[in-house]
Structure 1
Amino acid sequence: MRLVSDRIYIQKLTLDDLQPLLDFKLRNSKFFQPFEPIAPRSLYTLEGQREALKKLQENWEMELGYGFGVFLNSSNLLIGRVNLSNVVWGAWESCTMGYSLDEKYNGQGLTTEAVRLAIQFAFGSAGLHRVQAAVLPRNKGSIRVLEKAGFRYDGFSEYYLKINGLWEHHNLYSITCEHWQSMK
């Protein structure tokens, strides 16, 4: 499973990506800290990444989540992640999206490309109807990514997620397959 844009591609993460994922996590730990939940120390080890990848693969097989690596076309270097998580079927047919990109590659539009590819998968192969994302109001770069990818602002949610040890307010955004189709 590989989806390609001009500069990057996303593909399903596998155990072959174990070391690159750990390197990515270690390289960006301070950069991501203000925007992520506090991770257990084990996540910064090969064994911790192995367990996370196994869970990701289980979710993929059960159609409960889809985890992708973001890779540069030019070098196949892993520079990010984009995840479709918390998939719920039935009347909702929706998921939540999260993403992260190596600090070195931020501000170049690569995250927007990755998000668009993940949306393409969500509304294509996965057969979902809606993708939503929650963003800290102070994370202007992430808000721009969602807006450029076609997400619409849904509202404000107080104390939505525990980020870096604190319950933080979030802006909620979403895109539906109808809106996605109308953008083409």
Structure 2
Amino acid sequence: MDSNNIYLRHLERKDAGALFDLKLRNRDFYQPFEPIRDESHFTLEGQEKEIANGIQGALNDQSYIYGIFLKETDEIVGRIALTGIARGPFQNANLGYYIDRKHNGRGYATTAVSLCVKIAFNEFDLHRVQAGVMPRNLPSIRVLEKAGFRNEGLAKKYLKINGTWEDHALFAITADDIIH
């Protein structure tokens, strides 16, 4: 895991074109692991709206959405987000991420997850970050395990993915699990 290869940056409106290209290039690859989305999602305007919603979410402390960028070229190779932030006694966020298919297997997802978790704990004072992943998505499970997440059980029929209610293994990490 080499954090010298990538960095995370809040997505900005100027990133919409690159995010659009990333989504289109990987649409068929991601589909088995994503909800069915309206066609408007797969447009430049759809990505502009997603980024605008992310900016608004950050202003409201509800979500933080980052691009995953290669340091060498500043190319966007993925996206990672902390969403559904709950404050009060919970101090929790949900984690979601994806990496461009052509960049899979290089450790970028594991590095991005580790970086995002550190941000969650050190900058946003969250106590817990959780992620749900379909049990058949072994590469994503391996990413979470390598980043220090523990498996907390199986949620039956948890999310509607690609038109089917899918079970998800729930993983979590707390601030107490890592050294700041």
Q: Which residue, out of 151, 154, 159, partners 2:152?
A: 154
Give how far 1:132 is off: 0.1
Percent of residue pairs identical? 44
TM-score by length of 2: 0.97
Q: Which letter does structure 1 place at the counterpart of 2:36?
A: I
Gaps of 5+ in 1: none
Please report the RMSD computed on the Cα atoms of aligned residues, expressed in angstroms. Answer: 1.0
2:142 counterpart residue number: 144
Q: Which residue, out of 11, 17, 24, partners 2:22?
A: 24
1:108 counterpart residue number: 106
1:36 counterpart residue number: 34
- Aligned pair count reads 179
Please state whether the residue corresponding to 1:6 is helix, strand or coil. coil
Give how far 1:83 is off: 0.4
Q: Which letter does structure 1 place at the counterpart of 2:143?
A: V
Inter-partner Cα distance in structure 1 for 2:15 and 2:122: 25
Structure 1 outlier segments of 4+, above 2 Å: none
Q: Which residue, out of 56, 65, 68, partners 2:54?
A: 56
Q: Which residue, out of 72, 77, 80, partners 2:78?
A: 80
Inter-partner Cα distance in structure 1 for 2:105 and 2:8: 18
Please state whether the residue corresponding to 2:178 is helix, strand or coil. helix
Give how far 1:33 is off: 0.4
Gaps of 5+ in 2: none
Please state whether the residue corresponding to 1:86 is helix, strand or coil. strand
Please state whether the residue corresponding to 1:178 is helix, strand or coil. helix
